[in-house]
């Protein structure tokens, strides 16, 4: 059994992808070809954002977003500690200071009360609170109402890191439309993945969109050999855009399939272990289906039993960022990050992809119930 079965999806759309790739080979516009424009229009339309700007990967998307918002030395950028490293990594790259915010023990997303404490703490440290980056972890949108209210009151900019959550909904709005900017990743294992690296940024702000188009292409002005600012070389390959066009065409259908699979897991498991809770009038895109052990349940033993039964499972993430060597010198919530530290020891994720057949899912469920019983 596969943790994520990319081959099943490929079998469904292989012919269409072949045709799309052949078209790129025929026209030969490998960089910023017509498929890139077509994809950007369709991405924006899908989530309801005014602009989508593609780039080379989800980490660059974050860094370009920080560049566009003018993040610099002396600025505090608030990020959750329980996330993939890229969310925080781009902050010191821009000379700014990441401040690690606690997450909620049920949603695993940024806790607004902790953000408030972190803002006060950053000011006490002589930093300028500049930006907050909520993450839509495992596919579930962050608590945007509470975070936006606080960000606005404190004059903070906001970037949604939706590498795992793009296409999810929060109170009727899709991720991609919150804050000043949203970023996502098309890494192959993400819910919308290409066959290599890729990423995108979303915004409703015309000026920011124009800036991002310049920044991803060496800070170009009117044309490519007119450089008006320091930028990066970060474009999505035309071939990857061509592939993504076919994947985006089935994305809504795949999100429905993920929802059905998540519902089956939850129905079958909620009496024996803590299953994901989707509150706040949200819809998750189920990038991961992540369980949390209860008191007395031994995660490592459970995962070992699953492995013996031929079921892959993975821990996202075994160590929160504020405890990692690269990040342990940066400020945190002054009350500590006990939840991030605890859940890093409790969580594990089950096989999840839109093509997980009911039979295979039954195997996962019965192996897990056995392991817990
Ligand atoms: C995958 C991921 C990224 C980085 O995306 P890449 O395309 O791998 O650079 C950033 N943030 C989160 C939360 C991610 O899961």
Taking only the tens place, the pLDDT of each residue in 155-193 is 999 999 999 999 999 999 999 999 999 999 999 999 999
Give the closest residue (by CA) to ligand 1 atom 5. Answer: 58
Position 9 pLDDT exceeds 90: yes
Residue 320 in tokens: 């929160």
3-state percent breakdown (helix, strand, coil) of the chain, nearest 5: 45, 15, 40
What torsion, rounded to 10 degrees, do the Cα atoms 223, 228, 234, 238 define?
-10
pLDDT tens digits, one per residue of 88-136? 999 999 999 999 999 999 999 999 999 999 999 999 999 999 999 999 9
> Strand, coil or helix: what is 366?
helix
Which atom of ligand 1 has the smallest separation from the CA of 287? 15
- What are the chain's domains? 6-249 (3.40.640.10), 252-371 (3.90.1150.10)
* Residue 182 beta carbon below 6 angstroms from any ligand 1 atom: no
Nearest to 192 by CA among 276, 265, 255: 255
Q: Which of 87, 88, 140 to mutate to test the pocket of ligand 1 (most atoms within 8 A of CB)?
A: 87
Any ligand 1 atom below 6 A from CB of 199? yes
Ligand 1, atom 2: closest residue by C-alpha: 163
Beta strands in the chain (DSSP E): 51-55, 75-80, 97-101, 128-132, 157-161, 169-170, 173-174, 181-185, 199-203, 282-283, 289-292, 347-350
Testing ligand 1's pocket by substitution, the residue of 65, 85, 135, 161 carrying the most ligand atoms inside 8 A of its CB is 161
Cβ(260)–Cβ(266) below 8 Å? no
Give me the pLDDT at residue 373, please.
86
In percent, how much of the chain has pLDDT > 70? 100
The pLDDT tens digits for 178-187 are 999 999 999 9
Report pLDDT digits (tens) over 334-362.
Answer: 999 999 999 999 999 999 999 999 999 99
How many angstroms does the Cα of residue 194 sit away from the middle of ligand 1? Answer: 13
pLDDT reading at 152 higher than 90: yes
- pTM confidence score: 0.98
Residue 295 DSSP label: T
CA distances from 97 to 15, 76, 125, 334 (A): 47, 5, 11, 15
The average pLDDT across 279-293 equals 95
DSSP 8-state symbol, 142: P
pLDDT classification of 77: cutoffs 50, 70, 90: very high
Residue 60: φ, ψ to 5°: -60, -40
Residue 280 has pLDDT above 80, yes or no: no
Q: How far apart are CA 1 and CA 296, in angstroms?
A: 28
């Amino acid at each position: 059994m596969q943790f994520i079965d990319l081959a099943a999806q490929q079998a469904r759309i292989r012919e269409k992808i072949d045709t799309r790739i052949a078209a790129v080979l025929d026209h030969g516009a490998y960089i910023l070809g017509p498929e890139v424009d077509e994809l950007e229009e369709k991405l924006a339309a899908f989530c309801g954002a005014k602009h989508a700007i593609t780039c080379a990967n989800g980490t660059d998307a974050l860094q370009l977003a920080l560049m566009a918002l003018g993040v610099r030395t002396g600025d505090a950028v608030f990020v959750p500690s329980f996330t993939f490293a890229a969310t925080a990594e781009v902050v010191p790259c821009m000379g700014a200071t990441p401040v690690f915010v606690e997450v909620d023990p049920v949603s695993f997303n940024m806790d607004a009360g902790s953000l408030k404490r972190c803002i006060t703490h950053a000011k006490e440290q002589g930093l300028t609170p500049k930006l907050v980056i909520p993450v839509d972890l495992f596919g579930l949108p962050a608590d945007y109402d509470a975070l936006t209210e606080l960000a606005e009151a404190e004059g903070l900019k906001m970037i949604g890191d939706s590498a795992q959550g793009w296409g999810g909904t929060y109170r009727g709005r899709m991720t991609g439309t919150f804050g000043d900017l949203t970023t996502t990743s098309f890494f192959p294992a993400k819910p919308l993945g290409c066959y290599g690296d890729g990423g995108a940024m979303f915004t409703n702000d015309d000026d920011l969109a124009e800036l991002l188009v310049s920044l991803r292409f060496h800070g170009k002005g009117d044309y490519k050999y007119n450089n008006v600012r320091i930028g990066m070389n970060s474009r999505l390959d035309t071939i990857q855009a061509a592939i993504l066009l076919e994947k985006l065409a089935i994305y809504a259908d795949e999100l429905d399939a993920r929802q059905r699979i998540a519902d089956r897991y939850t129905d079958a498991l909620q009496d024996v272990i803590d299953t994901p809770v989707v509150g706040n009038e949200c819809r998750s895109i189920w990038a991961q289906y992540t369980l949390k052990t209860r008191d007395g349940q031994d995660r490592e033993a459970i995962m070992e039993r699953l492995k013996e039964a031929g079921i892959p499972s993975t821990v996202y993430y075994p160590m929160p960022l504020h405890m990692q060597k690269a990040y342990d010198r940066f400020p945190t919530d002054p009350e500590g990050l006990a939840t991030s530290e605890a859940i890093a020891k409790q969580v594990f994720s089950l096989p999840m992809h839109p093509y997980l057949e009911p039979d295979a899912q039954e195997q996962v469920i019965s192996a897990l119930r056995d392991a817990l019983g």
